[in-house]
Structure 1
């Protein structure tokens, strides 16, 4: 069970995981050692899955976002495993979700430019058979982040 202070620690770490424990402790009104113990407990309990660095996509050279909606005629376990392997081997595909509704999957791609989508598309269809793929180009990012709401944590 976690309390409001733990939620505040999680929220602050989501904003900047490199924050010094002493600074974090001050912001949540704890001693440094007590704050450190809470962070360790949150990690052990699995609330903190990992700590990462978020790169500036423009500076890295992949400013373009494309979403590909995928339909497939295959739903057997071996096809799904081949699809998982194919998308995991393509670094430009940074997210993939299985969906309900008209499409089976949505893929988020980050690319150097729109024209590079065809390169990724060709790599994917060489590895796995797809029924239909429809791509949409993101014109503008209105909200972006990795942070999740902490109010629901129990």
Structure 2
């Protein structure tokens, strides 16, 4: 790993699983004092390696049990279209991830909604904001693995 020593990698691996772990416990697991761990965490933040700390919310517990992947073909291939699309998807909190793809489709969107009716409202808002070439969706029936921790 570029510019990540083994101790930093162990710190990052633990923080990805539990970012609220007390520094004393984190230090015990990586073999450093509380202060040494704190200095390393601060250095990782300053270098832009550690970019945030979040709480993971159970989507079912907050009524967002349906995950949908939306495949988009661009209406146009221009800088203006891309900027309009970028603004539209960033303004919709249901859309959790947007990826420009190789191959037949242009963009893949990952969204969380309550149900099919909620997805339809999202779809209607999206196509009202941006001219799309083609839009299709696939709905997740079962999540076999979900996570954000990188393999350090």
TM-score, L = length of structure 1: 0.94
Question: Could you tell me which residue of structure 2 aligns to residue 2 of structure 1?
Answer: 4
Cα deviation for residue 132 of structure 1 reads 0.5
Q: Unpaired segments of 5 or more residues in structure 1?
A: none
Question: Could you tell me which residue of structure 1 aligns to residue 137 of structure 2?
Answer: 135
Cα deviation for residue 72 of structure 1 reads 1.5
Cα deviation for residue 148 of structure 1 reads 1.0
Looking at structure 2, the residues matched to 65 and 31 of structure 1 have their Cα atoms a distance apart, in angstroms, of 42
Cα deviation for residue 3 of structure 1 reads 1.3
Choose from 72, 75, 82 the match for 1:80. Answer: 82
Looking at structure 2, the residues matched to 40 and 90 of structure 1 have their Cα atoms a distance apart, in angstroms, of 32
Looking at structure 2, the residues matched to 18 and 61 of structure 1 have their Cα atoms a distance apart, in angstroms, of 25
Choose from 85, 101, 104 the match for 1:102. Answer: 104
Aligned residues: 150
1:32-111 residue pairs with structure 2 within 5 A? 32-111=34-113
Question: Could you tell me which residue of structure 2 aligns to residue 27 of structure 1?
Answer: 29
Deviation sequence 1:93-130 (CA, Å, 0-9, x none): 11110000010001111011122111100000100000
Cα deviation for residue 53 of structure 1 reads 1.3
Question: Could you tell me which residue of structure 2 aligns to residue 14 of structure 1?
Answer: 16
1:118 aligned onto 2:120: yes
* DSSP-derived class of the 1:91 partner: coil
Looking at structure 1, the residues matched to 77 and 131 of structure 2 have their Cα atoms a distance apart, in angstroms, of 11
Q: Which 4+ runs in 1 deviate beyond 6 A?
A: none
How large is the Cα RMSD of the aligned pairs? 0.9
TM-score, L = length of structure 2: 0.95
Cα deviation for residue 2 of structure 1 reads 2.7
